[in-house]
């Protein structure tokens, strides 16, 4: 009896398994990612070329003001020299809303630092002191014997802001029988100019835009 029951049980299991295989729905395999997470996906060159025409156009770089071509109906001028950057920038800010184009630049200028009257260097300190005593005996008070540097043993007779005063001092010492020298002392310093363009036939009173226009001038220049 028991063998028959086992036979029937195995038969039932086989029939059930066959039915499940025959009628069960097929599983759709999970999609395999094109690349591992964090890895840039591969794009074919043909796909890249096809996508270029459909994307938004990129904006071009802004053109600098100074690179714009000059117009026939404008003229350009330069104003300066400004002695400091702060003065130049203050003027630049005032001019910008009133002109078509504007730029600034710097130059190196030779500026006077006054005039020096002196007696050329003597061979020794003793000789220089001897000449100094001679000057003192003649009533000359404003002098100085240089004791170091390139002008060693030179006798300075004064520094003057105005050339006329320096010439007067030189003549005074020369009348005593000495041979004084006069030179202008100079220094190389940066100065600043502002270039701008305005419509032809239009006048711009730039002097009204600056606190102190003394020493400033206007020059006509080629447009930039």
200: domain CATH number?
3.30.70.260
Is the pLDDT confidence value at 123 over 60?
A: yes
- Kindly report the pTM of this predicted structure: 0.50
Mean of pLDDT values over 154-181: 97
Residue predicted with more confidence, 5 or 207: 207
Give the model's pLDDT for residue 39: 38
181 shares its domain with 116 = yes
What tokens were used for 150? 């390139």
Give domain status of residue 64, yes or no: no
176 shares its domain with 81 = no
Of the pLDDT bands very low, low, confident and very high (cuts 50, 70, 90), residue 183 is: very high
Is the pLDDT confidence value at 151 over 90?
A: yes
183 shares its domain with 83 = no
Give the model's pLDDT for residue 57: 34
104 shares its domain with 118 = no
Give the model's pLDDT for residue 79: 97
CA–CA dist 131, 191 (Å, integer): 42
Mean of pLDDT values over 36-46: 39
CA–CA dist 166, 99 (Å, integer): 45
195 shares its domain with 105 = yes
CA–CA dist 168, 59 (Å, integer): 70
199 shares its domain with 106 = yes
The length of the chain is 224
How many folded domains does the chain comprise? 2
Exposed/middle/buried for residue 18 (C-beta within 10 Å: 0-12, 13-18, 19+): exposed
| Residue 79, domain extent | 74-110+188-221
Over residues 68-82, the pLDDT tens digits come to 555 678 999 999 999
Give domain status of residue 105, yes or no: yes
How high does pLDDT run on average in the chain?
79
Q: How far is CA 214 from CA 82, 85, 115, 207, in A?
A: 10, 16, 23, 9
215 shares its domain with 173 = no
143 shares its domain with 104 = no
Over residues 79-95, the pLDDT tens digits come to 999 999 999 999 999 99
User: Which residue, among 167, 177, 182, 165, has the nearest Cα to 135 in the 3D structure?
Assistant: 177
Mean of pLDDT values over 88-105: 95
178: domain CATH number?
3.30.70.1070
Give domain status of residue 66, yes or no: no
Question: With the CA atoms of 201, 205, 209 and 213 taken in that order, what torsion angle do they form, in degrees rounded to the nearest 10?
Answer: 130
127 shares its domain with 182 = yes
151 shares its domain with 198 = no
Give domain status of residue 17, yes or no: no
What tokens were used for 147? 């004791």
């Amino acid at each position: 009896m028991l063998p028959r029951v086992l036979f029937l049980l195995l038969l039932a299991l086989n029939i059930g398994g066959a039915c499940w295989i025959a009628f069960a729905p097929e599983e759709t395999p999970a999609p395999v990612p094109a690349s591992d997470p964090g890895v840039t996906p591969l794009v074919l060159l043909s796909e890249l070329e096809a996508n270029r025409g459909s994307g938004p156009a990129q904006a071009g770089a802004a053109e600098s003001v100074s690179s714009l071509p000059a117009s026939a109906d404008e003229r350009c001028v330069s104003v300066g020299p400004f002695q400091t950057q702060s003065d130049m920038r203050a003027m630049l800010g005032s001019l910008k809303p009133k002109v078509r184009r504007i730029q600034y630049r710097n130059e190196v200028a030779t500026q006077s630092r006054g005039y020096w009257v002196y007696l050329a260097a003597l061979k020794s300190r003793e000789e220089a002191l001897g000449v100094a005593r001679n000057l003192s005996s003649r009533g000359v008070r404003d002098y100085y014997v240089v004791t170091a540097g390139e002008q060693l043993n030179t006798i300075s007779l004064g520094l003057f802001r105005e050339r006329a005063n320096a010439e007067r001092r030189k003549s005074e010492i020369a009348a005593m029988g000495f041979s004084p020298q006069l030179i202008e002392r100079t220094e190389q310093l940066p100065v600043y100019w502002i270039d701008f363009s305005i419509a032809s036939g239009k006048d711009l009173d730039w002097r009204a835009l600056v606190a102190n226009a003394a020493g400033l001038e206007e020059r006509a220049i080629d447009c930039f």
